[in-house]
Structure 1
Amino acid sequence: MSGGTRRPDGQKPGPEGASEPTGLMDLLGVAAVLLEADGRIDMWSPQAEELFGYARAEAVGQYAAPLLLRPEHRKAALHLFGEVMETGRGWAGAFPIRHKDGSTRTVEFRNMRLTDHLGDHYALGLATDRCTLRRVERDAALSARLFTQAPIGLSVLDPALRYIVVNPALAAMHGVPEADHVGKRFDEVLSGAAFRAVEASMREVLETGVPVVNRQVVGRTAADPDNDHAWTISLYRLEDHQGHTLGIATVAVDDTDRYRAAREVERAQRRLRLMATGSARIGTTLEVERTARELADVLVPELADMVAVDLLDSMLRTARTDPDEGPPLFRALAVKTAYSTDAVGAFVPPGRLTVYHADHPAAQCIRNGRPLLITHLESREVSRVAADPDAARLLAQAGVHTDITVPLIARGQCIGVMSLARARNPAPFDENDLALACELASRAALSIDNAVLHHHTRRTAEALQRSLLPRLSPCHPGLEVAARYRPAQALSEVGGDWYDVIPLEGDRTALAVGDVMGSGIPAATAMGRLRTATSTLADLDLDPARILTHLDRITLGLDPYIATCVYAVHDPRRYRLEVASAGHLPPVLIPSGGPPRLLDLPTGTPLGVGGVPFESTTHDLRPGDQLVLYTDGLVETRNDPIDTRLGELLRLLAPPYRSVEDTCDRLLHELRHPAGHDDVALLIASVLPLEY
């Protein structure tokens, strides 16, 4: 037998194949004493030295009774000793013993007779302190009671993570009887990603000895396989008093109620955040399609995996619904999914028209004006929310299992529907989700309705504006002209910008550009009245300053409108331009042999202010010169100084020179933002020889 490293108790390890001791004997401190037949001590263990206080040299060879017993106890002890030696029957019990320090202690004994090969008898006494024994017995009893009666889950697993023991509370949590745990591995009782992570933590605790305290685990067990439960678990390594690893202990507290309450609070906060987000992000423009996309962007993926927004086509065409036109015709406005999926093909693409079958949730919502919640949708029932069989197949393949359809109601009329579905999100829609969807739909419906009304009002104003602008002939005596009008974009409506080219006597031509402050149909109407007045006044052959004076008086009667205007008269016979301004930006003159420049004009006051005289100035022109008249929408922005923008205009008009048509297009392309907030009227005239 080879010597090995010593154990913590100082003893050598056993022979190969022997198992380690449990350590219980060391815990109890069992002492061994061997007595000869006459009562003298023959052997004295180290534990006996500790229990009785006498060293081996002090005890061996001495009579046990005088050494260890008080006089009043010796007779009874000798009687018991004689009976054991005579009969060979062992004796067990507690007996008072005198310690070396003079104190009396009660010691638990196990006495038995031993016989050697010569037939001689000896008495072997195994003894331990009764207080120690009682304490161990009490601790064992308390541990057993605590383990079985504790309302929290307790278990012990061996180093291979096989269950040694579980208490009733943990067995109830797992939904597996206590007996069916014993001997099984942890992963045989509990499976799933959450429990695999727990198993990894167990192995780490076994390896490092560092405990895991108050870790939350969420999963499902056989006790309730359809619902998530939450536990707060702690793990710690079990060791004996010698430091040997016995296994791992687990403590589990069912935290499901608090977990669900926290989840409910979290969902409520999420709904509030979603409402705040919807208020900020839905309806940022007066564009119907964009408002629908904003609604879809808010809902996906926060509330739904898939969203579709449809509007009644009659709303887009006429700004009102028509309940008598037959089956409702929908125009798709927006479709969005939280992830890439073929299920997007189940929805009508934006811009397309469709008629849903009578049982489709969208058709039902339009008929009764009430939302529809389907909490659980079996795959065979997906056709209820699909437009056709192909759409039903795509939705079923995607795993759609719950659906909400909400009417879009604005000003008391149902103008469309919003449809939501979940597929990857396993939670079914509930009443709280429905309430949130209805609230967001209500806000979006009003924004969409406003956008539709704006669209129709704008279209009417734009049509009116264009109808009031002249149809220009490109050629006039001594001039080639080109003009452009662009209505405002973004949130603004059509404004009151205009241009005009008016033939006069003597081959002269009047050029006018103006801007009525304001927007919409009233501004367009005011613009039409001023343009008509300008044409009428031009026939009186008045100079530009007097024309503006008369227009100023007319504008005063259009309260509350004011307008700016540039009015110029070109005389091709004298190559002369006479011009006056009423608070308008100066025209640009592009000489045929030099750089472009702003005409130096008295600015004047806008039309409608009244009481301020206007002044005409005269400028000489040559063939090849160009004159650019424009409204402020071409050069003004919200962020750039006007001088910077006018400098950019002059840069774009620098040589090489282009045709008047090309110049118009270039200026609009380079200077005007696609979402410009103001109208633009642009008029360019190029001077030609009169004989041309």
Structure 2
Amino acid sequence: MDKDRRQADIGPAEGAELSRSPRGGLLDVLGVAAIVLDADGRIVFWNPQAEALTGYSAGEALGRYAAQLLVADEHVDLVLRLFAEVMGGEGSWAGTFPVRHKDGRTRLLEFRNMRLEDDLGDLYALGLATDQAVLRRVERDLALSVRLVDQSPIGLAVMDTELRYVMVNPALERINGLPADEHLGRRVGQVLPFLDADSIESAMRQVMVTGTPLLDQETVACGPADPDTEHAWSVSFYRLEDPGGKVLGVATSVVDVTDRYRAGKDADRARHRLAVVADASVRIGTTLDLEQTARELADVAVPELADLAAVDILDSALAGHRTPVSASGPAVFKALAVAAAYPTDAAAAADPPGEVARYDADRLVTRCVNTSRLVMVPHVDEDDLSHIARDPRAAALLAQAGVHSYLAVPLIARGEVLGALDLVRARNPLAFTDDDATLAGELAARAAVCIDNARWYQQQRDTALTLQRSLLPQPPPHLFGLEVASRYQPASAAVEVGGDWYDILPLSGDRTALVVGDVMGSGINAATTMGRLRTATQTLAGLDLAPAEVLRNLDRITASLAPYIATCTYALYDPHHAQCHISTAGHLPPVRMRPGHPPELLDLPTGAPLGVGGVPFRTTAVDLDPGDQILLYTDGLVETRDEDIDARLNVLLALLDGPHRSLEYTCDHLLAALRHPGGHDDVALLIARVRR
């Protein structure tokens, strides 16, 4: 029978795959020797592996008694007895036996002995043997591998070339929440439908094609073993090959890194929270304006924390009354700011800035300020809305806007509750969490100090402004030969009130003294010094002193009020002589306007500011005809931080040029044109027109 015929006769069944096994497999590692003995114990078959184990070639072994060739004398009787048992049909024998090597050494071999019978009824003994040390090493390696796979906390799986599970270890069973038999023969998408199976299988195919492992691919999902909790796994893929390089499939390792993932998220949240707080530190409290500070807080909170934010201050705190800790009963708030991330009906439900509203004790914002503790409702229902909103209409607007989560944080500074920061979510689908509450609390704590500073500054500024306004003159009675208009405008809310003043003093002989002055500095002390100088000016004016003499005495008085100095212009108009006698102390020059002539700055001796001491003052006489006007003003009208004073004075003259208008209009026109929003200085303005 030729070779092809023999292969056909012994070939596999139809449809089976016949393949050559590569060298280096397990049988090659073991080097199994096959020895066949006849019924008399002579060697009749001897394979090359037997030669490798014993050192005897087939020519040296065949036909010889195995006991004489391979067994030491002291073991011959035992071998013969075991041989008789096997040949007698008492079963196979397995064990370790010392075999004599050709070179005289004794070698321990692991044997498996069994009886064979041919078609003629003749009996033979088959002995399969391998080196005991090699076998034990393979057994240890195999046991270790099995133990490692079974006891490993890492999930391990083997996928075949069709990406079907062929092996999973107990750790992967626990991770996936499914027993091994529900994995085997199935693909990833069938076993774990919640994962992106297409991406995973694409990665496996890439590894099978390239042979390059794909390591530490993080996957996040809610697994079947714990469907309510998000877990993270680190997945790696390795190509599996046999010793000949044939691809067998892909090995997969899965490590549960949920703790690391959560720690990373916590760290990210902490870094983000620090960044938001740092940003808030820059954006909140840029001025000492109470409303502006509240707006800055609301703008930081939206959309970072909420879709809508409102800042409300207790009316009692604005009035300077300390709010008791653990108060009870209703609360009265003044709304300072509202900010929305997008146009929403919820904004209409909030109290408009500047409006005062009373909230009963059952309202959540009232509970927040009364208990000095935050109030959080992660999932808002209809009943909650009725305790959030000020009235049923506002509750309906909140419901219409889709508000589903609420958080109120008290604004506490220096142990006093000032108000509350109200936050709601509507379009943002996430409910408020403890992390959100922590961040909102940090923002509120920082903002509360800024709001408290602005509140106390506002109260002090209002006090100074009230004092200053009380010191300014009331509208004067009828003046002989003069028509007069005046204005006083304080600095912006972010700047302390200054010491600017003006005065209109009717004197004997139908004369009128016009005074404008500016005490350097700001605050209550500057306003008080201004009041003293104004009183002194009124007293000195009543003594019929010349303007220079008035300023000389004011200089002496101001020096006694150190460290303050002041500038001043004193003008004395005499209608009977149609003259105005003017003296200045470090002040900007008055403007004279005459019909048919452009406005002009009067060229007067400037003089030194009041309080310098020892500097003479001079009086200049200026003729004024009917229709002429004279303008006195403080530097707050024209000075700015970034423009030259001469350029600003030219702008003032240009505004005064043209047809004469009413004095009231002129005052308003100058303030509107020259004063910048948020001006940093006060302005006192006085304009007089000569009448026939």
TM-score (norm 1): 0.74
The RMSD of aligned alpha carbons is: 5.5
Find the counterpart in structure 2 of residue 234 from structure 1: 236
Find the counterpart in structure 2 of residue 27 from structure 1: 25
Displacement of 1:514 in angstroms is: 0.7
Letter aligned with residue 580 of structure 1: S
Of 491, 494, 507 in structure 1, the residue corresponding to residue 494 of structure 2 is 491
Find the counterpart in structure 2 of residue 607 from structure 1: 610
Separation in 2 of the partners of 1:196 and 1:474? 93
Kindly report which structure 2 residues correspond to 1:167-246, keeping only aligned pairs within 5 A, or say none.
167-190=169-192, 201-202=203-204, 204-246=206-248
Find the counterpart in structure 2 of residue 654 from structure 1: 654
Find the counterpart in structure 2 of residue 568 from structure 1: 571
Find the counterpart in structure 2 of residue 673 from structure 1: 676
Displacement of 1:228 in angstroms is: 2.8
Find the counterpart in structure 2 of residue 257 from structure 1: 259
- Name stretches of at least 5 consecutive residues in structure 1 with no aligned partner: 1-13, 54-58, 77-86, 117-123
Separation in 2 of the partners of 1:595 and 1:459? 40
Separation in 2 of the partners of 1:450 and 1:186? 62
Q: Does 1:429 align with 2:429?
A: no
Taking only the aligned residue pairs, the percentage that are identical comes to 52
**Helix, strand or coil at the partner of 1:565:** strand
Letter aligned with residue 433 of structure 2: F
Separation in 1 of the partners of 2:575 and 2:321? 55
Letter aligned with residue 371 of structure 2: G
Kindly report which structure 2 residues correspond to 1:458-607, keeping only aligned pairs within 5 A, or say none.
458-470=461-473, 481-503=484-506, 509-556=512-559, 558=561, 561-571=564-574, 576-589=579-592, 598-607=601-610
Greater Cα shift, 568-577 or 25-34: 25-34
Greater Cα shift, 327-336 or 193-202: 193-202
Change in 2 beyond 3 A, CA 1:471/1:400: closer
Separation in 2 of the partners of 1:626 and 1:159? 103
Displacement of 1:487 in angstroms is: 0.7
Check the 8 A contact 1:369/1:414 in 2, yes or no. Answer: no
Displacement of 1:529 in angstroms is: 4.3
Letter aligned with residue 562 of structure 1: I
**Helix, strand or coil at the partner of 1:310:** strand
Displacement of 1:215 in angstroms is: 3.9
Separation in 1 of the partners of 2:504 and 2:356? 44
Separation in 2 of the partners of 1:66 and 1:344? 107
Greater Cα shift, 490-499 or 502-511: 502-511
Displacement of 1:269 in angstroms is: 5.1
Separation in 1 of the partners of 2:531 and 2:214? 82
Separation in 2 of the partners of 1:376 and 1:470? 59
Check the 8 A contact 2:294/2:337 in 1, yes or no. Answer: yes
Post-superposition Cα deviations, 1:34-77, rounded to whole Å, max 9, x if no partner, equal 99xx99x99x9xxx89x989xxxxx99x999499x999369x9x
Q: Does 1:636 align with 2:639?
A: yes
Separation in 2 of the partners of 1:593 and 1:541? 34
Check the 8 A contact 1:552/1:609 in 2, yes or no. Answer: yes
Letter aligned with residue 658 of structure 2: Y
Separation in 1 of the partners of 2:408 and 2:248? 59
Letter aligned with residue 645 of structure 2: R
**Helix, strand or coil at the partner of 1:654:** helix
Check the 8 A contact 1:597/1:650 in 2, yes or no. Answer: no
Change in 2 beyond 3 A, CA 1:421/1:207: farther
Check the 8 A contact 1:97/1:106 in 2, yes or no. Answer: no
Separation in 1 of the partners of 2:381 and 2:543? 81
Check the 8 A contact 2:158/2:251 in 1, yes or no. Answer: yes
Greater Cα shift, 554-563 or 214-223: 554-563
Post-superposition Cα deviations, 1:518-538, rounded to whole Å, max 9, x if no partner, equal 334454444344334434433
Letter aligned with residue 167 of structure 1: N
Find the counterpart in structure 1 of residue 314 from structure 2: 312
Find the counterpart in structure 2 of residue 294 from structure 1: 296
Displacement of 1:181 in angstroms is: 2.5
Displacement of 1:673 in angstroms is: 2.0
Find the counterpart in structure 2 of residue 119 from structure 1: none
Letter aligned with residue 583 of structure 1: G
Q: Does 1:444 align with 2:441?
A: no
Change in 2 beyond 3 A, CA 1:213/1:613: same
Change in 2 beyond 3 A, CA 1:417/1:542: same
- Name stretches of at least 5 consecutive residues in structure 2 with no aligned partner: 1-11, 77-88, 120-125
Greater Cα shift, 267-276 or 207-216: 267-276
**Helix, strand or coil at the partner of 2:654:** coil
Separation in 2 of the partners of 1:462 and 1:269? 45
Check the 8 A contact 1:194/1:218 in 2, yes or no. Answer: no
**Helix, strand or coil at the partner of 1:653:** helix
Separation in 1 of the partners of 2:218 and 2:501? 71
Change in 2 beyond 3 A, CA 1:172/1:394: farther
Change in 2 beyond 3 A, CA 1:254/1:385: farther
Displacement of 1:167 in angstroms is: 1.3
**Helix, strand or coil at the partner of 1:145:** helix
Check the 8 A contact 2:24/2:243 in 1, yes or no. Answer: no
Letter aligned with residue 179 of structure 2: P
Separation in 2 of the partners of 1:64 and 1:239? 39
Check the 8 A contact 1:28/1:133 in 2, yes or no. Answer: no
Displacement of 1:546 in angstroms is: 1.0
Separation in 1 of the partners of 2:328 and 2:372? 20
Kindly report which structure 2 residues correspond to 1:386-425, keeping only aligned pairs within 5 A, or say none.
386-387=388-389, 403-410=406-413, 413-421=416-424, 424=428
Greater Cα shift, 335-344 or 492-501: 335-344
Separation in 2 of the partners of 1:177 and 1:271? 42
Find the counterpart in structure 2 of residue 382 from structure 1: 384
Change in 2 beyond 3 A, CA 1:200/1:492: farther
Displacement of 1:566 in angstroms is: 0.8
Separation in 2 of the partners of 1:179 and 1:394? 56
Displacement of 1:549 in angstroms is: 1.9
Letter aligned with residue 429 of structure 1: T
Check the 8 A contact 1:592/1:622 in 2, yes or no. Answer: no
Letter aligned with residue 154 of structure 1: L
Displacement of 1:515 in angstroms is: 0.9
Find the counterpart in structure 1 of residue 152 from structure 2: 150
Change in 2 beyond 3 A, CA 1:331/1:206: farther
TM-score (norm 2): 0.74
Check the 8 A contact 2:311/2:422 in 1, yes or no. Answer: yes
Displacement of 1:449 in angstroms is: 3.8
Change in 2 beyond 3 A, CA 1:356/1:159: farther
Separation in 2 of the partners of 1:207 and 1:354? 72
Displacement of 1:222 in angstroms is: 2.3
Find the counterpart in structure 2 of residue 282 from structure 1: 284
Displacement of 1:308 in angstroms is: 3.0
Separation in 2 of the partners of 1:220 and 1:149? 24
Find the counterpart in structure 2 of residue 4 from structure 1: none
Letter aligned with residue 648 of structure 1: R
Check the 8 A contact 1:315/1:321 in 2, yes or no. Answer: yes
Q: Does 1:618 align with 2:616?
A: no
